[in-house]
Amino acid sequence: MYNVPGEFGLEIPEECESVGICVDIPNYPNEQAKQIVEKLKASGVITDDTTELDDTRRVGPAEENVELCKSEQRTLTPKAGVDEEGHWHVVLNPDDNPTQQFAVEMCSVENSSCAKFVVFQPGYEGVCIQSYMYYPMRIIHTDGTKSKKNLKLPTTCSCVVRRKES
């Protein structure tokens, strides 16, 4: 765990660093987030519905698709996320009234081999990697203001081909 200078002195657990998003922050400013959500709801800026990003790009019957990587579908309610410059930010998601949730697919074991029935040219191998995108999320600042910032979000687990290491 390390402290992030600036915004709230966040304590980011090590397991969050590689993913770029964190659902459990020990020193999350829950009371401040709760007050901001109440103000935003009162002014009609946000509603009781949470913002969700689901994976609607997948089409076709599941039984016709064969997944090449083992993965898990999860719904994340982030408390902190990292931007494109590598800076961590507090995501507006108080415990009792979350406003942003995201349906994601995460590799069960990143950098594992793709399904064994897939054969590659000699000298190449298939490896499962986590894919990400940057998605706009509401963040809060120490002065009580809020803004939107593109933060890193895991999206899919992909089988990629790479040269075998000698």
**Successive 10-residue mean pLDDT values, the chain, 166 residues:** 59 88 92 89 70 50 78 94 94 92 92 91 94 95 89 94 87
Residue 62 lies in a domain: no
Asked if residue 106 is part of any domain, the answer here is: yes
**Residue 61, domain member (yes or no):** no
Q: Are 91 and 138 in contact (CB under 8 A)?
A: yes
Do 80 and 17 touch, CB atoms closer than 8 A?
Answer: no
Q: How far apart are CA 141 and CA 145, in angstroms?
A: 5
Domains identified in the chain, total number: 1
Q: Is residue 63 part of a domain?
A: no
DSSP 95-107: TTS--EEEEEEEE
Residue 69's Cβ-side half-sphere holds a number of Cα atoms within 13 Å equal to: 24
Q: What is the pLDDT of residue 21?
A: 93
Residue 13 falls within a domain, yes or no?
yes
Q: Is residue 9 part of a domain?
A: yes
Exposure b/e, 51-89, CB count within 10 A at least 16 = b = bebeeeeeeeeeeeeeebbebeeeebebbbbbbeeeebb
Question: Is 122 part of any domain?
Answer: yes
> Which pair of structure tokens corresponds to residue 89?
């930010």
Q: What is the pLDDT of residue 161?
A: 95
State residue 165's pLDDT score. Answer: 81
The answer as to whether 60 is a domain residue is: no
The token pair at 6 is 């600036």
**Confidence at residue 55, expressed as pLDDT on a 0 to 100 scale:** 47
- In angstroms, rounded to a whole number, what is the distance separating the alpha carbons of residues 23 and 1? 14
* Residue 35: domain span: 2-55+69-163
Domain at 12, CATH number? 2.10.90.10
